[in-house]
Amino acid sequence: MGRPSTLLFVVLFYALETRADFIATTEETPLGNSTEWLADYTSIESKFSLRSPEVPDDDLCYLVPGQINTIEECNFKRTSKTFVVIHGWTVTGLYESWIAKLVTALFEREPSANVIVVDWLYRAQQHYPTSAAYTKLVGQDLAKFMNWIEVEGNYTLNNLHLLGYSLGAHVAGIAGSLTNNKVSRITGLDPAGPNFEYAEEKVRLSPDDANFVDVLHTYTRGSPDRSIGIQKPVGHVDIYPNGGSFQPGCDLHKAMLMIAANGFAEMDQIVKCSHERSIHLFIDSLLNEEKQSMAYRCNAKETFEKGLCLSCRKNRCNTLGYEINKVRSKRSSRMYLKTREVMPYKVFHYQLKVHFFSQENITFTDQPVQVSLYGTHDEAQNIALVLPKLSANKTFSFLVTTDINIGDLLMVKLMWEKDSYFSWTDWWKGYKFNIRKIRVKAGETQAKMTFSAKDGEMAALVRGGEFVDFVKSKEDQASKRHARRHGHRRSKNPWKSNSD
């Protein structure tokens, strides 16, 4: 894609002031209360391509509602699981490269499955508000298609999994709300935000559209309804990787490196990087079965950043992507996790809880620290963090992540860096905190551990100083051995103390 097309992508996506007028330009079929319209296939404009493992990137055979012979001609397997992939808005009117990648990954995970790609490219390449309004008609097309394969193809919708990206997620939701019987699952891959953030449930993805609806939110930056991805939860489980607003590897520095290497030809990939990350996270869950990413229920991303939500009790954690635990509740579950920049995206989450002792009444903000974790399998050194606040005689909790599987944690090292190379006060006064213990919780294993200062009762954490070491507390180890021996837990839970 050249520079003009790229600029068009950016400009059109945000040109939404006249969205109400554009919605009126698309003629909707009056549905009424009857379901007879589901059997009228004459108005269907969308196409339904049954892809093959051998040629995952091309439309070689179409399933045509009303033409029962196409089911046999395309070798549609009536007893197999079926995935339906629905693309979003497009500038070029062509399929994007992720479709073939997702189709390939689906076949690799489920070799006997049917994989159908919905082609609504003509309607999807209009001015954005027009394409957004067209999701209603495309949703009706898809509902008719699903009704057809259920009634005339003798196929159960309980084997159907819809995967919709951006506007395609709302197409899936509308279609799912219109069928006589519910489909098994809808996965919304960063559902589009503009025109849908405040829309009624019947015209967007919602939890009632399938037996189970899971959603990945990867580009929710900006004010509501101007955010490229929808911000509000719209499924049974809504997962916000890296807080949902922006994804690692999609920053300006990476963008400039890509432009330097490839010119403006791949500018569209920079614009779509965070939005499209939702697709690649799902692909990752299909291909890397041994490296499944874990998400944790939390009220807010700020709370998650403190490491306060790494619990798996009562379905508070779940697997991102294909192997998600299909938990339905009255209210949507907001879940968070951190990821790597590239596939495989899995990282390991740790909560570190530290009480900072000092005889001085000192407070610092935005302080750079480094953490090193040493385990039975490997070690993760010099993990850089910025702590929003450090205050004397208060307890703070913070989140540490690493993509290295270190095994069981044996030792923690902590270093407090200078926040400036030119700090006048450090020339005549050295600030420090004393630390007795570090309490650690591992999200992936749910293990809780206490680490004590290696040398002496307290370790001095000096700003601009060296690493200080903390090793597993002998008292903690003895207590755990006692608990295993006698089959009970400690009555006192240090994790319930207040933290700032």
Q: Hey, what are 46's tokens? A: 């969308």
R_g of the chain computed on alpha carbons? 26
The Cα–Cα gap between 218 and 230 comes to 9
CA atoms within 13 A on the CB side of 12: 20
Identity at 223, one-letter amino acid code: S
Distance CA(444)–CA(90), nearest Å, equals: 38
pLDDT of residue 29: 53
- Mean pLDDT of all residues in 247-268: 66
Render pLDDT for 329-361 as a digit per residue (tens, 0 to 9). Answer: 888 889 999 999 999 999 999 999 999 999 999
Query: What are the tokens at 252?
Result: 């300006």
Q: Is the pLDDT of residue 19 over 60?
A: no
Which residues are tagged catalytic?
Answer: 166, 190, 275
Pick the residue with more confidence: 475 or 246? 246
Distance CA 231, CA 122 (A): 27
Is 201 assigned to a binding site?
yes
What pLDDT does residue 330 have? 81
- Average pLDDT taken over every residue of the chain: 88
In angstroms, the CA 62 to CA 59 distance is: 7
Q: What is the pTM of this model?
A: 0.88
Q: Is 141 flagged in the annotation as binding?
A: no
Contact yes or no for 332/235 (Cβ under 8 A): yes
Q: Report the DSSP beta bridge partners of residue 116.
A: 50, 84
The pLDDT-based confidence of 375 (bands split at 50, 70, 90) is: very high
Condensed to tens digits (0 to 9), the pLDDT of residues 32-72 reads 556 789 989 999 999 999 999 999 999 999 999 999 999 99
CB half-sphere exposure, 429, CA atoms < 13 A? 6
